Structures are given as C-alpha cells and as structure tokens.
Amino acid sequence: MWRITWDRFARSKLALAALIYIGAITLIAIAAPLLSRYDPNAIDLIHRLNGPDARHQFGTDDLGRDVLTRMMYGARVSLAIAFSATAIALIVGSFLGALAGYYGGAIDWVVSRLIEIVLCFPFLFLLLAIVALFNPSVTTILVALGLTSWTTEARFIRGEFLKVREMDFAQAARASGARDARIIFRHLLPNSLAPVLVSASFGVAHAILVESALSFLGLGVAPPMASWGSILSVAEQFIDYAWWLVLFPGIAIFTTVAAFNIVGDRFRDALDPRSA
C-alpha cells in the first residue's frame, strides 16, 4: 500500500518540490550552528537596522543581530515546536480515539463528550489562556498546542476503528485469543493511521502559524531566543523602513506552511483508492 501511495504521490512535481523544501529547511535548522557565521544573540548597535549587504545577506535587526542567523536558529524553534506539538496531538488523539472506537459504549460517550468540550472553546483563546497561565516558553507552547489540537486525530481514529474493528482480520485476531491491547496496537491502529498522517501534515503547518502568532503577540518564546514569529514581532516597530524584517520571515512562514499543506493535500489524494 505504501509503495502504491508513494508512486501516486511522486506523480506531482509540485508535491515533490514541497517535500524537498521541507527536507532542506529541516536540515538547515538542524545544522544552524555549523552554517551560521554569527552568534544569533550577539548585539552590534553600530550596525543596527542595516539593510541586506555582503556581510548580512538578510540585514540586521534593531539590536544589530544578523537576521539570516536568527532565522536559521528560529527555524529550529518553530519546527521543533510544530513537530513536537503535532506528535503530542497524534499520540493523545490516537490513544483516546482508539479506545472510543474499539470499546464503544460508555468509553465512547466519555471521549466524545470530552472532544465536544474542547471544541466548545475558541482554539486561540484557549491556547492564549494556557500560555498566559504559565511562563511562556518552548515547552509551554508545544505542550499547550499538543493538548488543544488532539481532537481532529481522535475523531479520525475513532471513525476508522468503528470501520475496521468488524473486518475479517480483526475478527480473526479476536478469535485467536489475542488481548485487546494487541488487537488495538498491532492490528487495528496500523490500518487506521493513513488519514491521521494526512491530518498531521496539516497540523504541522497549523502549529507553525499558531506559534508565529503567539510570538508576534509576545506570548511565544522568551527573548533573546529567536523564532520566525518573534522576528516579525520586532519588525512591527520598524516596518516603515526596515522592510527586510518583514519580508524574509514572512516568506519563510508562508513557504513552509504552504509546503506542508501541499504535501498533506497530495498525500490525501494518493491514499484515495479512487485516484488514478
């Protein structure tokens, strides 16, 4: 199945380009200490708010820090938060959705009501309340994002379990005397992950946007740590003449979010058995 899915996915040159871009930006983020020429937090007031030139290809910010360096280190923070928050949402949502879909009854009712309670709150306001309650930090943001974004994965897994738990392979595993845990995690869950993985791709893009919004509002990572959103937050004060502080992080956020959305959209089409 996965080979067929990859063959279908690879037919789209745009999706392949997006996947290559994601890999490249991830490698740049990992190798930021090796690629950067400057300390991301080194202050140089003599060269503050300098435009792009040979020394600083993306210019400098209000404290003379190299924007290109801060963007590479910011990619580490933004992507780490996005991937970690999505992983938390995937684990929590898959676990609760699997319990609800497999056992049904009272467990299904409790999980379904819990999903509805979380969905009743406006997502951004709930996230702002959690972050404001604790000290803003990378850990706080990724945990808050993960614990407020699991409902989509839970609904997908629950729906898939309701479908596959009555299939022949599940019945055969049950008839052979396998325990519930083995049936859930060995047989049902691997056959239910496809739509969740598609959702996870969109979830990473959403997490990048939310982290950028929180940092822009001053509730993101604590200074002097850099993220794409915090660089944009600084740009707000100097937007009239320091255009590079808006352009480069804005392009990075836009292209990265678009790449994850393109990959997720194409992956969803590739998993559709009706696609050619």
Q: What is the pLDDT of residue 255?
A: 94
Which residue type is seen at 67? V
Within a domain: residue 43?
Answer: no
Within a domain: residue 20?
Answer: no
Within a domain: residue 32?
Answer: no
State the CB neighbour count (10 A cutoff) for residue 173. Answer: 17
> Could you tell me the pTM of the whole model?
0.84
Within a domain: residue 37?
Answer: no
Segment 253-265, tens digit of pLDDT: 999 999 999 988 8
Chain center to CA of 270 = 21
Within a domain: residue 135?
Answer: yes
Comparing 129 with 248, the larger pLDDT belongs to: 248
Segment 130-157, tens digit of pLDDT: 777 777 777 888 888 888 888 888 888 8
Q: What is the mean pLDDT of residues 45-67?
A: 86
* Lowest-pLDDT choice from 15-19, 28-32, 60-64, 67-71: 60-64
37 exposed, middle or buried (CB, 10 Å; 0-12, 13-18, 19+)?
A: exposed
What CA–CA distance (Å, rounded) separates 47 from 51?
9
Given pLDDT bands bounded at 50, 70 and 90, which one contains residue 273? low
The answer to whether the beta carbons of residues 30 and 53 sit under 8 Å apart is no
Q: What is the pLDDT of residue 1?
A: 65
Output DSSP code: residue 51. P
Segment 98-123, tens digit of pLDDT: 888 888 888 889 999 998 888 887 77
Within a domain: residue 252?
Answer: yes
Domain count, the chain: 1
Within a domain: residue 13?
Answer: no
> Over the chain, what is the mean pLDDT?
84
Percentage above 70 pLDDT, the chain: 97
Within a domain: residue 172?
Answer: yes
The contacts of residue 171 (CB under 8 Å, 6+ apart) are none
What domain range is 254 assigned to? 55-271
Segment 216-242, tens digit of pLDDT: 877 777 777 888 888 888 887 888 888
Segment 172-194, tens digit of pLDDT: 877 888 787 888 888 787 777 77
CATH of the domain at 202: 1.10.3720.10
- Nearest residue to 245 via CA among 258, 228, 221: 228
